[in-house]
Amino acid sequence: MNKIFLSLPLFALLAACGGNNNPADGSAAADTTAAAAPAFNVYGDSISADGALDMAAFAESIKGKDSLDVKLACEVTASCAKKGCWMDVKMADGEVMKVHFKDYAFFVPTSGLEGKQAIIQGRAAREITDVASLKHYAEDAGESPEEIAKITEPDTSWTFMADGVLIKP
């Protein structure tokens, strides 16, 4: 008889944990046995996606400014094919912003990022990029010698020094 009383709490615990896996609304419950895919892959400092401006809001925020500390939600258009030491993101006007990584301390994948969504946190600044650097970036991106030879003028554009980057897998 004592064995029955001792096993009642165990039975109650099992009954409470088991049972119907479907919620009251009739929808199927999520399978908790499979590992969920990460929302973002993290590079550099661990950051969150919370509070990120979209590129249209960023365009409004930078009017009349030469720099801005900011967190942005953006689309990756390219990354350095040699080391992953930079990536390009699309601005609201279709132009490209070059993203570098603080202190050269981290890198992103060298391929497969095109079209992926990213969150970048750091400092945006208007910069003049000299011809030699532009040619170097074009070479890293795998441009043809003919395309590289067409680069003859410096470029004034927005660049970004990222402390942390999140990229959707």
Percentage, residues of the chain above pLDDT 70: 78
pLDDT at 91 over 50: yes
Give the phi and the psi of residue 133 in degrees, each rounded to 5.
-65, -40
pLDDT value at residue 30: 43
Chain centre to alpha carbon of residue 93: 20
pLDDT value at residue 96: 95
Give the pLDDT confidence of 121-140 residue by residue, as tens digits: 999 999 999 999 999 989 98
DSSP state of 102: G
Give the pLDDT confidence of 3-42 residue by residue, as tens digits: 444 444 433 433 434 444 334 444 444 444 456 667 999 9
Residues sharing a CB contact under 8 Å with residue 124, sequence separation 6 or more, in sequence order: 58, 62, 67, 68, 70, 72, 97, 158, 159, 160
Give the pLDDT confidence of 139-150 residue by residue, as tens digits: 988 899 999 999
pTM of the complete model? 0.71
15: left (phi over 0), alpha (psi -120 to 50) or beta: alpha
pLDDT at 47 over 70: yes
- Write out the E strands in the chain: 41-44, 67-79, 86-90, 96-101, 117-129, 155-167
In contact, 91 and 158? CB cutoff 8 Å = yes
In contact, 158 and 100? CB cutoff 8 Å = no
Structural domains in the chain? 39-129+157-167 (2.40.50.200)
Q: Model confidence at 1, in pLDDT bands (50, 70, 90)? A: very low
